[in-house]
Amino acid sequence: MKLKLIVGGLVVLGAAVAAILLLIGESNPVTPGQALPPAPSTSAPSGQSHEVAMALERATADPNSLVASSSREQVGTGAGDGLPPGSKIEVNENSWAPDGVGGGIIEATVSSPGRPSTTFVVVMVSESGQWKVVASMPVEGGPIG
Q: Is residue 44 part of a domain?
A: yes
Helix (H, G, I), strand (E, B) or coil at 131: strand
Alpha helical stretches, state H, the chain: 2-27, 48-57, 72-75
Q: Domain containing 44: what range?
A: 2-139
* C-alpha Rg value of the chain to the nearest Å: 16
Q: Say if residue 24's pLDDT is above 50.
A: no
Q: Is residue 127 part of a domain?
A: yes
Q: How far is CA 14 from CA 40, 45, 112, in A?
A: 15, 20, 30
Q: Is residue 129 part of a domain?
A: yes
Q: Is residue 144 part of a domain?
A: no
Tens digit of pLDDT for each residue in 76-102?
777 788 788 899 999 999 999 999 999
66: DSSP letter: G
Q: Is residue 145 part of a domain?
A: no
**What is the C-alpha separation between 36 and 50, in angstroms, rounded?**
32
Q: Say if residue 103's pLDDT is above 80.
A: yes
Q: Say if residue 18's pLDDT is above 60.
A: no
Tens digit of pLDDT for each residue in 43-63?
544 589 999 999 999 888 888
- pTM here is 0.65
Domain count, the chain: 1
Q: Is residue 106 part of a domain?
A: yes
Residue 59: give its domain's CATH number.
Answer: 3.10.450
